[in-house]
Chains A and B, each alone.
Chain A
Amino acid sequence: MEAVIDVSGVEKMYRRKVHALRGVDLQVGAGEIFGLLGPNGAGKSTLVKVLMTVIKPTKCTGSMLGEKIGDKSTLTQVGYLPEHHNFPKYLTSRQVLRHFGAMSGVDRQTRNKRAEELLEVVNMSEWATHKLGTYSKGMRQRIGIAQALMNDPKLVVLDEPTDGVDPIGRRDIREILIRLKDEGRTVFLNSHLLSELEMVCDRVAIMVHGLMRQQGTIDELTKERSGFVISAQSQLDSDAISAAQKAVGGIDCKVSEAQSDLRFDTQSADRVQPAIDALRSRGVIIESIGFHRPSLEDLFIKAVNEHPDGARPGAQGAEKGARS
């Protein structure tokens, strides 16, 4: 995998008190949509800001688009939409796009042309001459995304792009993300909306308490907890459980806390048939049988629960600290 972002051991300590990033390793491949998720205070925005040179890391090795992190010239090829952005309200959307295009080093002719194209892409052409002060949050978000694309970037970093956007707007943004991927760009998404990420991301990473806990494709991450689940009407006794486990041989079997569900670590329906027979022969009433694949939300909650420090109030200071 050709890495667009390849960093390791990223650390950020605020005022020698708050350890926002504790040695983050991250690889984002070229042309993929990468999703970064984590609870509040996990350090997601801090990591993004480190990549965007908004924050100086305490320690960081690695590169972005082949250049060292912190190299300003790399940013000519990067588009960035910050969380809670506040673009000048006295400018029209056309002026905003042209302004940030110029700041990114795009020549006048190209930025004028590109501004019109992007206004079209984000469905804001009709509002091109209106000042941002008159826009709704969703409209501002669309302009923010367009602004991030003004320099025709190879890498697009979007921090909570669907924040404040209605369902139709979210769908539009999803379509834009897929289009960016189709154009060969790499998209780095930072979002709370797990279902959104699940729909568009090729790979995701879960960050908790300043550390990357899991990283991979959604398939890779969910494979561990997927399998056939047999649900009994009532609690299973230990005899029935051991009989079912014995019947499937070497397949790993996990029992739910209520002792009514058995999850077999296999994707083959054939392999669980003996377990059904064993349970039925002991008079167990089977309520349902089905293949279960955990959602991103399940993985997220699992990661947070495994590292409860990530959800503690003190840890939220890490993200707040980033803005103070």
Chain B
Amino acid sequence: MILMQSKAVFLDAYRELNAKKLFWLTLGLNLLVVALFASLGINKEGVSFWHWTFDNQFMNTNFIPKELFYKIQFTAWGVPIWLSWATTILALISTAGIIPDMVSGGTIEPMLSKPIGRIRLFITKYLTGLLFVGLQILVFAVGCLLVLGIRAGSWEFGLFLAVPIVLAFFSYLFSFCVFVGLVTRSTIAALLLTILFWLAIFIVNTGDTIMLSQREGAILQVEDRQNDVEVQERFAQKRIEQFREQGKPIPGEGDEPLPTNATDSLSAVNPTLTTARDRLQETKDSVPTWEAWAKRVYILKTVLPKTQETIALLERHLISDDELSDLMQMGANGQSANEDEPAMADPRVPERVAEIMRGRTIWWILGTSFAFEAIFLGLSTLIFVRRDF
């Protein structure tokens, strides 16, 4: 009977989706995006779209193999922009009403009067909400698999990993949406508060990137300035040795006084050393501050769902570390930090930040996110079980 009832709830959810124009609209848009994806190409000259070719000195098959090009497109905008933003917004609009509609007067009574437990009814209904996104992602993934297979000759079944990953991402938001929908019984409130919550997560994610960039920038700057100081000191040491050979007095040694702006013999013979040392100290002082902020944001992130990192898991799977490293080097090739620019502007910083992000464990990303989802889903279930309708 359990299977029969669950099947009935899913079938009803499918019919409800089927009756919604938005479901078909989203599906149509998914296919359109797949068609655009298929229209993109790469050749020796650059990037092509239909029969037009746009010359590009980096984006061509001399640097990027066809297969990697399509994987990059899929992981760079197919998943993070299309599936994670556009489809998710459409999915939230379509599914935000599932729980408020279910608990509305006249609808809930026939359901509760059937021999099905409240917990099972609620969880099954929750899962039907995920059905919407599941179907959409599946269609998109199949479309992209065909594009990659036909256009690049690579049948990358790893693309299907997008289904559970994007589904997990959506489920974090949906658990919050369900909670608000149940408490307020309002679709509009559920939708708006979920989008606000999503925005808050986005801000925290951005804050995390900024703090990590600042910290890593500061660390790199310390390394650079430390080298600079060492170079200056070696130069000063050479000068002192020259002074000795020439029998000239060395400031700070014996009775020879130090100039006012010098702290030792080295800085006395090389005045720029003092400035270099000051700048090094200044940067060293800033590191603990950025470290503290990065830690605070990390703690905050730990309790929130990791939307950005969850989506990035797909990129981790599809693009190897070597491929990523090559791409990063292409972007940062030959560039180094300008002394006068802020630490964050160092072109090596994004690579370091990406490395740190990639270093975050799957358990931390998914475990804490699912814990968040479990808490909200648990709270919602508790409310549903205890409430009188």
- Chain A residues with CB under 8 Å of chain B are 14, 49, 52-56, 72-76, 78, 80, 82, 84-88, 90-91, 95, 99-100, 102-105, 107-108, 147, 322-323
Whether B104 pairs with A99 at a CB distance below 8 angstroms is: no
Whether B110 pairs with A14 at a CB distance below 8 angstroms is: no
Give the contacts of B334-351 with A (CB-CB under 8 A): none
> Taking the nearest CB of chain A, how far is it from the CB of B95, in angstroms?
15
Whether B16 pairs with A88 at a CB distance below 8 angstroms is: yes
In the complex, chain A residues whose CB is within 8 Å of the CB of B9: 103
Q: Which of B7, B18, B112 contacts A53 (CB under 8 A)?
A: B112
Q: Which residue of the partner chain B has the closest CB to A81?
A: B110
In the complex, chain A residues whose CB is within 8 Å of the CB of B8: 99, 102-103
* Alpha-carbon distance between A105 and B386 when the two chains are bound, in angstroms: 24
Q: Which residue of the partner chain A has the closest CB to B116?
A: A103
Whether B115 pairs with A80 at a CB distance below 8 angstroms is: no
Whether B110 pairs with A56 at a CB distance below 8 angstroms is: no
Is residue B105 contacting chain A, with contact meaning CB distance below 8 A? yes
> Taking the nearest CB of chain B, how far is it from the CB of A6, in angstroms?
19
Is residue B285 contacting chain A, with contact meaning CB distance below 8 A? no
Known: A54-B112, A91-B12. 8 other contacts (CB 8 A): A14-B388, A52-B109, A55-B389, A72-B116, A85-B107, A86-B104, A102-B8, A103-B5
A-B contact pairs, 27 of them (CB 8 A): A14-B388, A49-B389, A53-B113, A54-B388, A55-B389, A72-B115, A73-B115, A74-B115, A76-B115, A82-B106, A82-B109, A82-B110, A82-B113, A85-B106, A86-B104, A87-B110, A88-B12, A88-B107, A90-B16, A90-B19, A95-B15, A99-B11, A100-B110, A100-B114, A104-B114, A104-B115, A323-B105
Interface size on B, residues (CB 8 A): 29
Interface contacts (Cβ under 8 Å), in number, total 86
In the A-B complex, the 3 residue pairs with the smallest Cβ-Cβ separation, listed nearest first, are A86-B106, A90-B19, A102-B8
In the complex, chain B residues whose CB is within 8 Å of the CB of A88: 12, 15-16, 107
> Taking the nearest CB of chain A, how far is it from the CB of B114, in angstroms?
4
Q: Mark B346-376, 1 if CB is under 8 A from A, else 0.
A: 0000000000000000000000000000000
Whether A49 pairs with B109 at a CB distance below 8 angstroms is: yes
Give the contacts of B261-315 with A (CB-CB under 8 A): none
Whether B15 pairs with A90 at a CB distance below 8 angstroms is: yes
Is residue B259 contacting chain A, with contact meaning CB distance below 8 A? no
> Taking the nearest CB of chain A, how far is it from the CB of B380, in angstroms?
18
